[in-house]
Amino acid sequence: GEAMAPLLTRTGRRPFQEAYDAFVTSFCIPLLHSMAMSQNLFHGASSRISYRYQAFPKIRILKPGDASDGPHCGTSNGHSIGFLHFHVPLTAAMGTNALYTESHPGKENWHPLITKSVGLGFLFDGARCLHFNMENTTSDTSVALEFTVAIYGDRTEDEYVDGESLCTRSILEDHFSLSGHGFYDEAVIDLSPQSPSWQVVAKKHGGDLLDPDYRVGFPFL
């Protein structure tokens, strides 16, 4: 609608996109990096750890009476299995206007991602776990940002060991990366102590912001 109209021009969406990109590179990626380090996932990895993330988020809007098209997961929509999903409500999410998901793939223990405070987010295995919206029987519209982030190393596919190595760039290729430039952006953290950017997130392609297209969904359809 009219509220989304500014996003359709590069000038109009720039403040929002700059804030989103800063949120991903200054908070979400360092959070994932810290979690991965605590689980020793970088053991034997190359010194450069790369992060592929959605360059523009999906904006999920659920008005009273709206419902989604049923349970789905990221892989069924064309995403690589290596991606983790962030769901960040911009409004209070309660009852049937919240996103529902399962705790583990195939478990079907559906539960809503509830938050009373704006800006509290959720990180889950949306590539494999089914998630959906019920019919919104509340009187409130819910709005949330959804996007994906993946970690990969610079090793070749020949050096990849399933269950022991980080994903390689080729393993993360999916419908969105293969259908054209612009859906994903990338950043890197250099783990070598001598690097001036040690554990500092550096965008691979400078500060340029990528233009969203139909792959993001509404309002770019």
Question: Which tens digits make up the pLDDT trace of 109-136?
Answer: 999 999 988 878 999 999 999 999 999 9
In the three-class reduction of DSSP (H, G, I as helix; E, B as strand; rest coil), residue 25 is classed as helix
Residue 158 has pLDDT above 80, yes or no: no
With tokens 């720039």, the residue in question is 14
What integer pLDDT is reported at residue 170 of this predicted model?
85
Average pLDDT score over the chain: 89
Question: Which tens digits make up the pLDDT trace of 181-193?
Answer: 999 999 998 877 7
The model carries a pTM of: 0.91
What integer pLDDT is reported at residue 136 of this predicted model?
95
What integer pLDDT is reported at residue 204 of this predicted model?
86
Region 85-108 average pLDDT: 95
**What is the C-alpha separation between 182 and 213, in angstroms, rounded?**
8
Q: Strands of the chain (E only): list them.
A: 48-54, 58-62, 84-89, 99-101, 111-112, 122-124, 131-133, 142-153, 184-190, 202-203
Of 34-38, 44-48, 69-73, 214-218, the one with minimum mean pLDDT is: 44-48
**What is the C-alpha separation between 221 and 219, in angstroms, rounded?**
6
Question: Which tens digits make up the pLDDT trace of 74-83?
Answer: 999 999 998 9
